[in-house]
Structure 1
Amino acid sequence: MSGFALEAGASWRNLAWGFQDGSADSAEDPDAILVDIDTEDMDEYKAGSAKIICYFSVGTVETWRDDVIADMDAWMAVTVGNLEDWDEYWIDITSSAARTLLKTRFERAASLGCDAVELDNVDCYTADECWPHIDGLSTAAQAKAAQIEFNKWQATTAHDLSLGIGLKNALTIIDDLVDEYDFAINESCLQYGECDYYFPFLDADKAVLHTEYIWAVDACSSETKMDTSSNTRILSTKYCTGSDGLCTRGNEWKTCFVDMTSNTYANFDPDTVIAPSAASFRLRGPSSDILFLWTFLLGLLFFMRR
């Protein structure tokens, strides 16, 4: 392992993604700062006490990166399909050539002074534009196994360079990988009722850096770090203050905390936002399927009686 540690409930500043036309984050004195690996302000961030987590995509080719532009043919040779709605291309997760290219990215992160890496698009196994186009993968089960193996390679590569590593989204392989990763990052698990997938990380006292895009301005009434001395099931939650989705300049990320043990949502102002109910994030898997079935049958019965 790398020796990198970020405990559940850690505070963080997100300066790497989720922004449109600029970035802003209200977190003060964070435990960690998330930055793009190509940030021009690395020396400034390193001067502080926060751990520096560097972002880049490991599952897609980001065509605008300098290292890709410098060797475009080699990077495109390991791609298998376009990432929908983005100027990126899925990487063949079974390719040794891809790993050779990606390893240089890890080495650069270490040389820049990053303490950890946050690697995007590690869900080829769920994407129709990705795994069905990889030679040798003919079933979803094979794709999932290949993804787990690829992710374990990422974790080993990071740790060999004394870098921590975070698992982003990829909910259905958390149980297989929680021991390999130092923390997790999630988008919108409250909105989609999926936060309980992260109990393995939280129960291991590993931070889950969590973002939501659905709440209104000033929904958080406090930015005080929650006391986690008796409860490690704390999501390190942020939300965008803007009402138009992604943060824009002036519409910053704000810090909240979500207590997953008592099913309460700390620091949310009920006058400005209705927090999701506890049931909304607990309802997934077979339970949600049963609810849908009953709703469908009741609707069908209604129309048959008309």
Structure 2
Amino acid sequence: MHKTLFIALTLGAIFSAAKPAHNKPPCSKTKSETHSSTSTSPPSSSTNSLATDSFWKPSVGQSWQIVLSGVVNTKVDLVPNVDIFDIDGQSHSQQDIAALHSKGKKVICYFSAGTVEEGRPDVGSIEQYTGKVLPAWPKEKWVDVRVQAVRDVMANRIADFATKGCDALDPDNVDAYNNDNGLNNFQKDDSIDYIKWLSTEAAKHNIHIGLKNAGEIIPSVIDSVAFSVNEECNQINECQVWEAFPNAGKPVFNVEYIDGGDNGSSRRDVGPVRRVDWKRDGGPVGQCPGTNGFSSVVKKLSLDGWVRFCDETEETTALVN
């Protein structure tokens, strides 16, 4: 999850603190690490147009499930019956993704593109480029994505996801500009350049990327991404910002969060499940009021197998761990 989410939850006063291992918001650190812009910035990325390519893009209105805690168990009946599964691309194997394909699912592979998470096998060489810790997540730090060595790690991840068979990518934490990141003069333009670079790099492997949150830069990057993954726009009453995507024929995969639940979040102790208050009426049949026709789900912050849809049905995807 993500810094925008952290701000939203703080303003809404609904959560205490913590998050699953695969989601990202922000924190503070006693020392700010600085990096010279001249020595760290790779060449600027060119805009990647998606208009003429032939590889898979999700469609407006497709249904989805997002599971970032644990590995989806494909050896049992797969629920819910949705079009797309958004899963942790590093935790799942090529065989896991092939099994999801065999069940008729498209797979979006999640990864943190803007932070270093402790325990990931490929981050040892770039820890020197980290900034501040994300709030309440002491094992995760912002990383300077202007540095070529960092981009090399991300390029390797993208190539690995392509080999595994991921249909598209969900790069998280691309909005360091909007957070207390501890990086040297990191600006909005740096995020714009990075997203365009990610898009170009993914296109080398016939894969599209989405934009995770980062609503302020939508006009600058919408031509370089095939979809959006948005957290809590209904909760903070900002879904209109993301309407640019369906207006351009691109889907928004929206997730709203509840306060834990009977199993709770692995990192939160915030009491019972709340009902998401969809703020606006209207929208097509089967779509959630308040999200203007987006593909919306309700999840726990742990992003485990449990999901609630806006018709109030609930299902749980079985996990291996």
TM-score by length of 1: 0.67
Deviation by residue 1:43-99 (Cα, 9 ceiling, x = unmatched): 32122222110011000011211223xxx1x12022122222221111112111111
Correspondence for 1:119 = 171
Judging changes above 3 Å, is the alpha-carbon distance between structure 1 residues 117 and 154 closer, same or farther for their aligned structure 2 residues? same
Correspondence for 1:78 = 129
Q: CA RMSD in A?
A: 3.0
Cα distance in 2 between the residues matched to 1:106 and 1:226: 37
Correspondence for 2:298 = 239
Correspondence for 2:101 = 46
TM-score by length of 2: 0.64
Judging changes above 3 Å, is the alpha-carbon distance between structure 1 residues 233 and 179 closer, same or farther for their aligned structure 2 residues? farther
Q: Does 1:61 align with 2:116?
A: yes
Matched residue type, 1:78: Y
Which residue, 22, 34, 41 being the options, matches 2:86? Answer: 34
Q: Does 1:15 align with 2:67?
A: yes
Q: Does 1:90 align with 2:142?
A: yes
Correspondence for 1:254 = 308
Q: Which moved more, 1:85-94 or 1:101-110?
A: 85-94
Cα distance in 2 between the residues matched to 1:248 and 1:116: 20
Cα distance in 2 between the residues matched to 1:162 and 1:248: 29
Judging changes above 3 Å, is the alpha-carbon distance between structure 1 residues 146 and 217 closer, same or farther for their aligned structure 2 residues? closer
The 5 Å alignment of 1:291-306 reads: none
Cα distance in 1 between the residues matched to 2:225 and 2:135: 27
Query: Which is richer in helix?
Result: 1
Judging changes above 3 Å, is the alpha-carbon distance between structure 1 residues 226 and 182 closer, same or farther for their aligned structure 2 residues? farther
Determine which structure has greater relative contact order: mean sequence separation of CA pairs < 8 Å that are 6+ residues apart, divided by chain length: 2
Q: Percent identity?
A: 31
Unmatched 5+ residue regions in structure 2? 1-49, 260-272, 278-283, 314-321
Cα distance in 1 between the residues matched to 2:214 and 2:156: 24
Cα shift at 1:16: 2.1
Judging changes above 3 Å, is the alpha-carbon distance between structure 1 residues 50 and 180 closer, same or farther for their aligned structure 2 residues? same
Cα distance in 2 between the residues matched to 1:44 and 1:204: 32
Matched residue type, 2:134: L
Deviation by residue 1:199-246 (Cα, 9 ceiling, x = unmatched): 1101112111111114857879xxxx9579xxx951101013x6xx54
Judging changes above 3 Å, is the alpha-carbon distance between structure 1 residues 203 and 55 closer, same or farther for their aligned structure 2 residues? same
Question: How many pairs were matched up?
Answer: 230
Judging changes above 3 Å, is the alpha-carbon distance between structure 1 residues 248 and 176 closer, same or farther for their aligned structure 2 residues? closer
Judging changes above 3 Å, is the alpha-carbon distance between structure 1 residues 192 and 217 closer, same or farther for their aligned structure 2 residues? closer
Correspondence for 1:297 = none
Which residue, 241, 253, 271 being the options, matches 1:209? Answer: 253
Unmatched 5+ residue regions in structure 1? 257-266, 270-306
Which residue, 137, 144, 149 being the options, matches 2:188? Answer: 144
Q: Does 1:103 align with 2:147?
A: no
Report the structure number with the largest CA radius of gyration.
1
1:213–1:246 Cα contact (<8 Å) kept: no
